[in-house]
Amino acid sequence: MYVRTSSRRNKSGQVVRYLQLAHNEWDAKAGVSRTKVLHSFGREDEIDRAAVERLVAALTRLLDPARAAALTGPAELTFTEARPLGGTHVLDGLWHRLGLDQVMRRQLAGRRLDPRVERVLFALVANRALDASSKLAAADWITRDVHIEGLDAIDEQACYRAMDWLLQIEPALAKEAYFQVTDLLNLEVDLLFFDTTSTYFETEEADEPVPRDAHGERLPEGTDPELAVKEAGFRTFGKSKDSRDDLPQVVVGMAVTRDGIPVRVWSWPGNTTDTNLIRQVKDDLREWSLSRIVWVADRGFTSAANRRALMQAGGGYIIGEKLRSGSPEVKQALSRPGRYATVRDNLQVKEVNIDSDDRFVICFNPEQALRDAAIRERMVTQLEEAIAGTDKLKATERAHLAGQLSTKPGLKRYLRTTPGGLLRIDKKKIATEANLDGKYLLRSSDPKLSAEDIALGYKSLLEVERGWRDMKQILDLRPVYHRREDRIRAHVLLCWLALLLIRVAENATGQTWNRLRAELQRLQAATFTGHAGTYRQTTEPTKPQRDILTALDIPAPKKVIELTATL
């Protein structure tokens, strides 16, 4: 099919050209090709060009948009760039599926803010999950390095404005997101796991102390000083879980379901005590009107004050007890006879009755017992080598060596000094430690849970520990590129939302986020530019990519995601 041109001379002698849409047909009888006119456009100088454009537009709608753009352009298209698309497409699909966009838009109603704030916050969350960076670098990443639906470009200030707004709506956002997520995913929330970590800052100076309430929140200026419970900077010195007591830090807490879904995070000044943490967490979640909740916490929350706080409002707890605390309850529990019952995952449990209102369950893992024994044997061998021949040393030299060994907890545990100042292996301590191999002790206030549920519930606390590991290694909770308290809190919230999305993806696919991210980022958006315009087209999804999309119930991205005609 082609445009046929014919010419003829009119009475004035002027040559006039006529345009026709024609194609050639083969005449089998005559054995020749004959021209058939399909449509006459009329004189070339009087042609209705608007009508031709409408005809071309109607015909191109029958074609693939990318092919149409290529065919209508007077010159070939030029490939200009390719950006990863798969990761943001999946995260955006989960973002919408969990209703986080709707929650934010409801909170946005009536506020004088850029309507793109929800998109900016999603982009910052996606940045943490896919290529964690500072907010300045994140703005450049969003603008130049990735395709995000509904957001072409932003600047650093737009990121900060969105973070400030996120902090304002956090209580309502966390509550609505919790119920949306638990209802949609049909999560079991009878057990909530809670743990804390700390994250330090590469600065030697702590923040100036300011008045704070019982929850560690900064009191507004002009507040009666008597209302302040304490004065503390947000970035301040405390007991570091990263072994960096020399640097100021903040404390971060997280509540997680038994499925590993993080439902809320908190952040406090770096010297906040466990008791204050527990009280705020209980107070905040009491407003959610949850049904019966049993809190699962590690051995750092075993104090009587923390247990009382967890019992408030009808709650219960499962807490790990420190076997080496020397408390009367621990001694009674370990001395009680009884047989272990094997439950699952190579785990054996035994409930013991002692003089206490709480229940105590001893857990034993034979494989862990073998590992503990092997580690102790190496420690004892190393200690024997260190003190060999020390009887011949002067008393001051032996004391100096003992001081050096005291800085190594693993060796110090098995070292004994005789009344005469001689260094010996503490065989009694070895026997005591051998009795603890592979064991841990749990304390629970819940009268209805079985010993197996108590043991497996505590074992699931590993989900929180995995969350901290992913927060620090994948989402880059640290380093924090912010100085202001509100921006640090907002940064923690972005990490929480990113962890929420990737944990949902992992649970649905059975794959780690590192593997999912690597595969999804191979799905690209390619941009082509020509005289007719610009279009952006996705690469064809591979089978692994299609399997991920199917498992997450997310449709594949459109083949052509952007088409702009040059006017």
What Rg value do the Cα atoms of the chain yield, rounded?
34
Residue 76 pLDDT level (bands cut at 50, 70, 90): low
In this structure, the answer to whether residues 416 and 496 fall within a common structural domain is no
**Is position 108 within any domain?**
no
Q: What is the mean pLDDT of the chain?
A: 84
| 90: pLDDT strictly greater than 50 | yes
- Of 496, 469, 495, 497, which is closest to residue 481 (Cα–Cα)? 495
In this structure, the answer to whether residues 314 and 451 fall within a common structural domain is yes
- Report H helices in 341-443: 366-387, 395-406, 409-412, 427-434
**Is position 42 within any domain?**
yes
- Report percent pLDDT > 90 for the chain: 24
In this structure, the answer to whether residues 237 and 317 fall within a common structural domain is yes
pLDDT the model gives residue 74: 46
Mean pLDDT across 169-198: 79
3-state secondary structure of 440: strand
**Is position 497 within any domain?**
yes
Residue 196 pLDDT level (bands cut at 50, 70, 90): confident
In this structure, the answer to whether residues 306 and 394 fall within a common structural domain is no
In this structure, the answer to whether residues 292 and 212 fall within a common structural domain is yes
Q: Which of 30-39, 69-78, 478-487, 556-565 has the lowest mean pLDDT?
A: 69-78
Of 388, 403, 434, which closes a domain? Answer: 434
As for how many domains the chain has, the answer is 3
Q: How confident is the model over 360-395, as pLDDT tens digits?
A: 999 998 888 999 999 999 999 999 999 999 999 999
What is the amino acid identity at position 500?
L
| 464: pLDDT strictly greater than 50 | yes
- Of 263, 338, 294, 221, which is closest to residue 454 (Cα–Cα)? 294
- Report percent pLDDT > 70 for the chain: 93
- Of 177, 174, 142, 144, which is closest to residue 158 (Cα–Cα)? 142
In this structure, the answer to whether residues 428 and 447 fall within a common structural domain is no
The structure tokens 């071309």 sit at 56
Give the contacts of 7 (CB within 8 A, at least 6 positions apart): 15, 16, 17, 18
Helices (H) and strands (E) in the chain, counts: 19, 20
CA distance 221 to 212: 11
Q: 541 vs 10, which has greater pLDDT?
A: 541
Give 162's DSSP letter. H
**Is position 117 within any domain?**
no
Structure tokens that stand for 118 in this block:
């929800």
Q: 477 vs 155, which has greater pLDDT?
A: 155
Mean pLDDT across 144-153: 89
Domain encompassing residue 26: 2-47
What does the H/E/C string look like for 203-232?
CCCCCCCEEECCCCCECCCCCCHHHCCEEE
**Is position 125 within any domain?**
no
Mean pLDDT across 318-341: 86
**Is position 296 within any domain?**
yes
In this structure, the answer to whether residues 415 and 468 fall within a common structural domain is no
pLDDT the model gives residue 522: 92
Burial 151-176 (b: 16+ CB within 10 A, else e): beebeeebbbbbbebbbebbeebbbb
| 190: pLDDT strictly greater than 70 | no
| 115: pLDDT strictly greater than 80 | no
Strand partners, 441: 321, 362
In this structure, the answer to whether residues 194 and 308 fall within a common structural domain is yes
- Of 102, 152, 99, which is closest to residue 123 (Cα–Cα)? 152
Q: 168 vs 122, which has greater pLDDT?
A: 122
In this structure, the answer to whether residues 285 and 428 fall within a common structural domain is no
In this structure, the answer to whether residues 192 and 316 fall within a common structural domain is yes
pLDDT the model gives residue 40: 84
Of 487, 504, 521, which closes a domain? Answer: 504
Q: Kindly write down the DSSP assignment for every residue of 75-102, as one continuous string.
A: S--EEEEEEE-HHHHHHHHHHHHTTHHH
**Is position 205 within any domain?**
yes
Q: How confident is the model over 271-328, as pLDDT tens digits?
A: 887 777 777 887 787 777 666 677 788 777 788 877 877 776 566 888 888 888 778 8
In this structure, the answer to whether residues 204 and 311 fall within a common structural domain is yes
Residue 214 pLDDT level (bands cut at 50, 70, 90): confident
Of 379, 402, 434, which closes a domain? Answer: 434
The structure tokens 């200690």 sit at 383
Give 128's DSSP letter. H
Domain with residue 280: its CATH number is 3.30.420.10
pLDDT the model gives residue 357: 85
3-state secondary structure of 127: helix
pTM of the prediction? 0.74
| 204: pLDDT strictly greater than 90 | no
| 82: pLDDT strictly greater than 90 | no
**Is position 98 within any domain?**
no
- Of 419, 433, 420, which is closest to residue 383 (Cα–Cα)? 433
Give 272's DSSP letter. -
In this structure, the answer to whether residues 422 and 447 fall within a common structural domain is no
- Report H helices in 109-192: 117-131, 135-144, 156-185
